[in-house]
Chain A
Amino acid sequence: MRKLGIVALGAAAALTLAGCSTGGTESASSDGGDITVWVVGSDTPEDARAYLKDTFESENEGWKLTVEEKTWADVSDTYAAALQSNDSPDVVEVGNTQTASFADQGLFLPLEDFSTDDYLPGLVQSATYDGDLYAAPYYAGGRIVFYSQQILGDTAVPTTLDEYVATGKARKTDTLSGIWAPGRDWYNALPYVWSHGGFIAEQDGDTWKAGFSSDGGVEGLTQLQDVYVNASNAAKDGDETDPQVPFCAGEDLFLSAPAWVQWSITAPADAEAPGCPDTFGSDLHAFALPGLEAGETAPIFAGGSNIAVATKSANPEQARAALDIMASAGYQDLLAAGGLTPGLTASAANLPDTEIAKAQAVALENSQVTPTTPKWAEVEAAQIIQEALVKIAQGGDVKAIATDLDKQIEDILNS
């Protein structure tokens, strides 16, 4: 009796741990079915989604296409779980820095007969693993600095990074962030490191050497600490989601964010995620983050996405057809019109002729990527860079934190 109880208890314990099972309905037949496309975040414009659905469904009689929206937080674990299940989505958008890792795990089908000539080389490179192309370039994006003229007032737009930080510090009050800088926003931290000559990690023979604790790295992070402590009211352990909220509350002087945040800021005041088109969004301006010398821009992180066909897709042929539509000129033109730098180079002509679009183009001219190794995704998933930045934002010892961080990065990349 007693033993049975113990077994039951163990069973109960195991039951609670054994995790989850997924059930799903699969519909696959040659003359009709469902195709699921996952896009990440709200940056893919609505008209592009509609274009994809309409074009696909008219070209493939009897097929239905559904676009589902995921968040960037999902892209590591949720993706890995879904892509290896029998209920896998067919086409997925994935971050450029993560593509190699997913390809390495065998989660993407290699794209055969896809001509990459007309696409952004940086994205093509990020989608190529072991000589094969695993994803099509989707769009690129860079961070630019937004400001509202009514808050900036007579203050001049800074022309160097030091001036930018100095202005941010000078204008900071209890209710106004000179530079809105939440601690976990690591993409926005990289320009400081890169400007001063630091680096993330460089390959030397077979081993990776991380560079946050290099002289330039420490210099950049020290300046960043100055920003966190003396120019920003953002949560020290906060992340970069919903930057339009403080901006629209008139609490930001400078906001460094992806170009598509302009749509969040200028969204109607009665939208589900309201913006402020009539107040602080009414005179929205942007500039490329300046570099150390006047006339230079700071190197920014070249963000972007690729699209891939899942290995477990029940209908790889139709999935590929959907992917081809998303990589086609018709679709990429719509992305460009939405202010995203399109993966298809020719579609860039469709970028809106606005100050913000130009600022992004200027900023992207001087951009860098994260180390190109499948192990990099592990560094991102472990969130060690964010953690180190939070500690720096809390006023910790920069040199010690950077040294610690470099060790963790090297442990992962060289394992």
Chain B
Amino acid sequence: MSATLTEHDAAPRTPGTRPPGPDTRSGRAPKKKKFPFAPWMLLAPSIILLFVMVVYPTIVMFITSFTDLEIKNKMLDTPANFVGFDNYVEVFTMSDFPAVLARSLGLMVVLTVLIVVGGMLIALLMLRLSKGWRLLVSIGLLLAWAMPPLSATVVWGWIFDTDYGLVNWVLNTLTGTQDFRGHGWLANPWSFMMVLVIIVVWQGIPFAVFTFYAGLGQVPDEVLEASQLDGANAVQRFRLIVLPYMRNVLTAVIVLETIWNLRIFTQVYALQQQGGLVSETNVLGTYLFRQGLGEFGVTAAIGVFMVLLLMGISYYNVRSSLKEEEA
């Protein structure tokens, strides 16, 4: 994801947008003007990488979404047929698509809010901790972050297991009853989502904490001190001083979390393997994956839709952060 971050920084230095020569009034550079080799050479690796990893697959996905490409076409070397907007019509008329979309968007909002708010609170906490405690919290966060999502989800699935899960045992022990014997946490779509939110937030918070913590270090102490002398309380200091200084960091984290949380796949998929009803817990990613075997046209159409959706959602955030940079 560093592509987004570095690109922000690199943007103002893009050659061509700042013509080096003084005489460009005619709009066409005079012949003697040299092509700016050095900057372009420096940019070349990232441009090539972006093209191979991003532009080309996006174009292929876009084209595929208008065809009926199947595995068969690839194996037998036959071209796919162009079917116009059929795939899009099929996706948007599927009876369960609106529910999947709503579920994904709802999850995205809940997850992003929890991760950003929780991350900020823990980052503020870390500012005030002594060195030893701070180290302990950092290591704990790092471990949660470093664990592969698949393994983490499987372990969390065991914790919430219907027959032998830790949670059921703890609840039974605490209440002194057998009410939770065989309670299926994943069977009900709402409690499935609760377990899912716990897993994703648990694993998503460390990134937000570290980023915010680094950002908080940039807030000058003098300004905070001055405001304190002026009688600003803690909430006011946070809202009026810390937040404005943190604005860029905050935007970056929110945009990234929005993207990550809308395209969650591993955790949902792995949890669905352990229980629950697939049709009532699908999000866009798993819904796409569970379309027919090798129906690339329809899945590409869903993919294109997801890209457009993400760009739309992030448009406002990116625009405001870029304005800030230009100012």
Residues of A within 8 A of B (CB): 1-2, 4-6, 8-19, 73, 76-77, 80, 84, 101, 104-107, 174, 233-238, 245-246, 311-312, 377-378, 381-384, 387, 390-391, 394
Give the shortest distance, in Å, between B20 (CB) and chain A (any CB).
Answer: 18
Give the shortest distance, in Å, between A402 (CB) and chain B (any CB).
Answer: 16
A11 B54 Cβ-Cβ under 8 A: yes
B75 A106 Cβ-Cβ under 8 A: yes
Contact of B7 among A5, A16, A237, A384 (CB under 8 A): A5
Q: Which residue of A lies closest to B321 (CB)?
A: A5
Contact of B307 among A17, A73, A382 (CB under 8 A): A17
- With A311-B75, A390-B277 known as contacts, the answer to whether A236 contacts B184 (CB < 8 A) is yes
Point out the residues of chain A lying under 8 angstroms from B12, CB to CB: 1
Which of B121-129, B234-242, B285-293 interfaces with chain A? Answer: B285-293
Interface SS majority for chain A? helix
A381 B292 Cβ-Cβ under 8 A: yes
Can you sample 30 A-B contacts with CB below 8 Å?
A: A1-B325, A2-B319, A2-B323, A4-B11, A8-B3, A8-B4, A8-B7, A11-B50, A11-B58, A12-B3, A12-B4, A12-B54, A12-B259, A13-B306, A13-B310, A14-B61, A14-B307, A15-B53, A16-B260, A16-B263, A17-B263, A18-B53, A18-B57, A101-B293, A105-B293, A234-B163, A236-B184, A237-B184, A378-B293, A384-B279
Point out the residues of chain A lying under 8 angstroms from B98, CB to CB: none
Point out the residues of chain B lying under 8 angstroms from A1, CB to CB: 11-12, 17, 322, 325-326
B72 A106 Cβ-Cβ under 8 A: yes
The 8 A CB mask of B37-49 against A (1 = contact, 0 = none) is: 0000000000000
Within 8 A of A (CB), among B309-327: 310-311, 314-315, 318-319, 321-323, 325-326
A18 B61 Cβ-Cβ under 8 A: yes
**New contact pairs (12) apart from A1-B326, A11-B54, A382-B290, CB-CB < 8 Å:** A4-B11, A5-B11, A10-B58, A12-B1, A13-B306, A15-B3, A16-B259, A17-B307, A105-B70, A105-B293, A377-B293, A387-B278
B294 at the interface (CB under 8 A from A): yes
B8 at the interface (CB under 8 A from A): yes
Point out the residues of chain B lying under 8 angstroms from A2, CB to CB: 318-319, 322-323
Q: Which residue of A lies closest to B78 (CB)?
A: A106
**Shortest 3 CB-CB distances between A and B: which pairs?**
A106-B75, A8-B7, A18-B57
B278 A5 Cβ-Cβ under 8 A: no
B293 A107 Cβ-Cβ under 8 A: no
A237 B311 Cβ-Cβ under 8 A: no
Kindly state the interface size class of chain B when it binds its partner: 35 or more
A80 B293 Cβ-Cβ under 8 A: yes
B181 at the interface (CB under 8 A from A): yes
Point out the residues of chain B lying under 8 angstroms from A84, CB to CB: 71, 74-75, 294
A11 B322 Cβ-Cβ under 8 A: no
Give the shortest distance, in Å, between A397 (CB) and chain B (any CB).
Answer: 16
Point out the residues of chain A lying under 8 angstroms from B293, CB to CB: 76-77, 80, 101, 105, 377-378, 381
A237 B292 Cβ-Cβ under 8 A: no
Contact of A394 among B4, B17, B187 (CB under 8 A): B187
B1 A378 Cβ-Cβ under 8 A: no
Point out the residues of chain B lying under 8 angstroms from A381, CB to CB: 290, 292-293
A6 to B58, CA, bound (A): 15
Residues of B within 8 A of A (CB): 1, 3-4, 7-8, 11-12, 14, 17, 50, 53-55, 57-58, 61, 70-72, 74-76, 161-164, 178, 181-182, 184, 186-187, 255, 259-260, 263, 273, 275-279, 289-290, 292-294, 303, 306-307, 310-311, 314-315, 318-319, 321-323, 325-326
- With A8-B8, A77-B293, A101-B293 known as contacts, the answer to whether A390 contacts B3 (CB < 8 A) is no
A174 to B179, CA, bound (A): 11
B182 A9 Cβ-Cβ under 8 A: no
A5 B163 Cβ-Cβ under 8 A: no
A312 to B161, CA, bound (A): 40
Interface centre among B14, B74, B273 (most CB of A within 10 A): B74
A233 B186 Cβ-Cβ under 8 A: no
Point out the residues of chain B lying under 8 angstroms from A6, CB to CB: 311, 315, 318-319
Point out the residues of chain A lying under 8 angstroms from B303, CB to CB: 17
Q: Which residue of B lies closest to A408 (CB)?
A: B279
Q: Which residue of B lies closest to A19 (CB)?
A: B57
Contact of B4 among A9, A235, A384, A390 (CB under 8 A): A9
Q: Which residue of B lies closest to A18 (CB)?
A: B57
Point out the residues of chain B lying under 8 angstroms from A235, CB to CB: 161-163, 182, 184, 187, 275
- With A14-B58, A14-B307, A17-B307 known as contacts, the answer to whether A246 contacts B163 (CB < 8 A) is yes
- With A6-B315, A394-B187 known as contacts, the answer to whether A105 contacts B294 (CB < 8 A) is yes
A277 to B239, CA, bound (A): 66
Contact of B58 among A18, A107, A394 (CB under 8 A): A18
Interface centre among A4, A11, A13, A235 (most CB of B within 10 A): A13
A390 to B17, CA, bound (A): 61
Point out the residues of chain B lying under 8 angstroms from A234, CB to CB: 163
- With A1-B11, A235-B162 known as contacts, the answer to whether A11 contacts B55 (CB < 8 A) is yes
Point out the residues of chain A lying under 8 angstroms from B54, CB to CB: 11-12, 14-15, 18
A106 B76 Cβ-Cβ under 8 A: yes
Q: Which residue of B lies closest to A246 (CB)?
A: B163
A1 to B322, CA, bound (A): 8
A73 to B150, CA, bound (A): 15
Point out the residues of chain A lying under 8 angstroms from B263, CB to CB: 16-17
A5 B322 Cβ-Cβ under 8 A: yes
Give the shortest distance, in Å, between A410 (CB) and chain B (any CB).
Answer: 15
A236 B187 Cβ-Cβ under 8 A: yes
Point out the residues of chain B lying under 8 angstroms from A246, CB to CB: 163
Q: Which residue of A lies closest to B279 (CB)?
A: A387
Point out the residues of chain A lying under 8 angstroms from B76, CB to CB: 106
Q: Which residue of A lies closest to B77 (CB)?
A: A106
B3 A11 Cβ-Cβ under 8 A: yes
A15 to B260, CA, bound (A): 11
A394 to B182, CA, bound (A): 13
A11 to B316, CA, bound (A): 16
A100 to B58, CA, bound (A): 33
Point out the residues of chain A lying under 8 angstroms from B14, CB to CB: 4
A300 to B321, CA, bound (A): 64
Give the shortest distance, in Å, between B163 (CB) and chain A (any CB).
Answer: 6
A107 B53 Cβ-Cβ under 8 A: no
Q: Which residue of A lies closest to B57 (CB)?
A: A18
A311 to B310, CA, bound (A): 38
